[in-house]
Chains A and B, each alone.
Chain A
Amino acid sequence: MKKTSSVFTVVIFAFLYVPMIVLAVASFNTGTDISVFKSFTLNNYRELLRDNVLLPLLLNSVIVAVISSLFATVLGTAAALGIHSMGGRMRRMTMALTNIPLTNPEIVTGISLALVFVFVGQVMKIKSVMGFVTLLIAHITFNLPYVILSVLPKLRQMDDHLSEAAMDLGCTPSQAFFKVVLPEIMPGVISGALMAFTMSLDDFVISYFVYGPGFVTLPVEIYNYTKKPLQPKIYALFTFMFIIILLAMIIMNILQARDSRRGSRSLRRRSTNA
C-alpha cells in the first residue's frame, strides 16, 4: 500500500511541476515560441533587467502586498484577540463574517467590491475611482481572514492565565500583551503575514476588477499580455519569482519547524526513556 502510493505520489508531483519546468526552460530559450526550444540564452534575463515595464509592475505588486499584508496583520491580530475572548453567538457571527471572503467565489468578491467602488464614485462624483486605494482595500479585505485563521489557533494553544499572571506581576494590560501574549502567538502572526503577503502578491482575479489604469499589478498585466503575443522575458520573470517564493517558503518552513520543535522537545525527551 505504501509503495504503490509512493509511486503515485511521485507521479502527481511530476504533474504539479511539469508546467513549472516548461516555463523555466522557456526562460532560457532564444526563440519566442514556448513550445519549441531553439538554443540556450540568458538574454531574456538581461532584457528583464533592462525592462522598464515589468519590473515597475512587480514593484507595484510588492508595494500592495507589503502594505496590505502589514495592515491586515495588525487589524487581523487585534481582531483575533477579540474573537478569542468572545463567546457563543457573537463569536459565531464574527466567524461567519470572516468566512465570507473565503467561501465566496473570488470573482464575486471582485465584482461586488468593484460595484461598491463604482457606486461610491458615482455618489461622490469621482470620475475614475479605481486605483491604488481601491486595490489596497480589496487586498486587505481578502488578506484579513488568513491572518485571523492563523493567529486564532495559537491563541487557543496559549494558556489563558498567561496575561493574568503577567498583570499579577505588575504589567499593565498593554505591557502584558506586548511582553507575554504577542511573543507567544508570534509564529501564528508571522505565518499569517507571510500567507497574506503571498496571496496578495499573486492575486489576479480580485485585482482584475478593482485596479485602475494608474496603478497596475504584475498579475493583471500578465493577463493583459497573454491576450497579445507573449514576450519570453515574462518566463524569465516567472523563474525569478519562483525562486523568491521558494525562499519565502523555506523561511516559513524553518519558522514552523522551530515552533513545533519547541513544543515537542519536552515530550520527546521523555519518550526516549520509554
Chain B
Amino acid sequence: MKNKLSSGPYLVWMTLFTVVPLVIVVYYAFTDSVTGRFTLGNVETVKNYIPIFLRSVWLALVSSLICLLLGYPVAWRIAQAGPKSQRLLYMLVMLPMCISFLLRTLAWVALLEDTGIINGFFIKLGLPPLPLIRTNGAVILGMVYNYLPYMIMPLYTVIMKIDRRLIEAAQDLGCGGAQVFAKVTLPLSVPGIISGVTMVFVPAVSTFYISQKLGNTGTTLIGDVIESQFKTAYNPNLGAALSLVLMIIVLACTALMNRFSGDDESVATV
C-alpha cells in the first residue's frame, strides 16, 4: 500500500514537464504573437500548410509500409534463429539506432549526391549518373533507413512469443508451411505490426532533418516548417498551432491503428 507513494515524485515531475508543456502549447496556439491576446489567427494560418501536412503524412505512410515489407521477413528470420544468434542479430538491428542519425543521414547524402559514391560508381562503369538526391524517393529512403529498426524490434518480439504449439497445432490440422504463416503466424503478429507501423510513422511524419538533407524545396515536411518557426522565422505561436495539429494527427493515426488490435482486448473482457 505504502509503495504507491513512491511514484509521487515521478507523477509530479511528469505533470510539470509533460502535461503542463502541452497545456502551454495550446495556450500559445491560441494567443497572438504580438498582442498576447486570444486569437484564432494561428489556427487559421495552419490552413496554408495543409499541402505540407498531406505530403508529410503521405511520405510517412509510404515509409511505414516499406518498413513493414522489409522488416517482417527480417524479424521472422531472427525469431527462427538459435537463442544465441537471436541476441546477436537483435543487437545488430539496434546498433545503428545508437549512432547519431544526423551522421547516418549525412552518409546517405554522400552516397546519393550527384557526384556521390553511387553515381561515381555509375560513371566509372560508363553509365550516366542518376538524379538520386533531392527527390521524394531519397526522403523516403532516409526515413526507411532511419526507422527500420523501430519496425523490426516489435515484430521480432511478437513473432518470438508465438507459442510453438500453435504452429504444431496448425500443422496437425492440415496446414502446409505457407498456410501456417497465413493462418496463424501473420494474424498473431498483428499487434507487432500495429506497434511497428506506429513507431515508424510517428517519427517519420514529424522529422525535420531528413527532408532538409535528402529532399528539395518541394519536399519540405511539416517538421521543417515547425522547426523554422522556432529557429529562424521566430513565430512560436504559429509553431505551437502547427504542433497542435501535428499532435492531433498523430493521436488520430495511433488511435486508428490501435482499434485494429484493441478489438481483441475489448471482446476478451466481456
| Residues of chain A at the chain B interface (Cβ within 8 Å) | 1-2, 4-6, 8-9, 12-13, 15-20, 22-23, 26, 34-36, 75-76, 78-86, 90, 94, 97-98, 100-101, 103-109, 111-116, 118-119, 137-138, 140-141, 144, 148, 173, 198, 202, 204-205, 209, 218-219, 222-223, 226, 230, 234-235, 238, 241-242, 245-246, 248-250, 253, 256-257
Contact = CB atoms under 8 A, between A and B. Distances in A.
B27 to A, nearest CB: 8
Most A-side CB within 10 Å, residue of B21, B99, B243:
B21
Nearest to B76: A5
Given A35-B120, A112-B22, A222 B102 contact: yes
B139 interface: no
B98 A202 contact: yes
Nearest to A113: B21
Nearest 8 Cβ contacts at the A-B interface = A82-B7, A79-B10, A105-B206, A19-B107, A112-B21, A85-B3, A34-B110, A79-B7
Contacts of B89: 9
A20 B104 contact: yes
A169 to B, nearest CB: 19
A248 B99 CA distance: 12
11 contacts: A9-B77, A12-B73, A19-B104, A85-B4, A108-B25, A108-B247, A112-B24, A113-B21, A116-B20, A138-B17, A202-B100
Q: Which of B73, B203, B208 gathers the greatest number of chain A CB atoms within 10 Å?
A: B73
A90 B8 CA distance: 12
A83 B4 CA distance: 7
Contacts of B268: none
B5 A234 contact: no
Contacts of A115: 21, 24-25, 28, 236, 240
A16 B70 CA distance: 12
- Interface of A, secondary structure class, is helix
B149 interface: yes
A76 B13 CA distance: 11
Interface in B215-268: 223, 226-227, 230, 236, 239-240, 243, 246-247, 250-251, 254
Contacts of B2: 173
B256 to A, nearest CB: 13
Nearest to A37: B117
Contacts, number: 230
B184 interface: no
Given A35-B110, A75-B10, A137-B17, A107 B208 contact: yes
A9 B87 contact: no
Interface string B3-36: 1111111110111011111101100100000000
A205 to B, nearest CB: 8
Given A18-B111, A115-B236, A35 B24 contact: no
A82 B5 contact: yes
A138 B18 CA distance: 10
Contacts of B103: 23, 222, 234-235, 238
B126 interface: no
Contacts of A256: 87
Contacts of A235: 103
Interface string B97-126: 011111110111011010111001000000
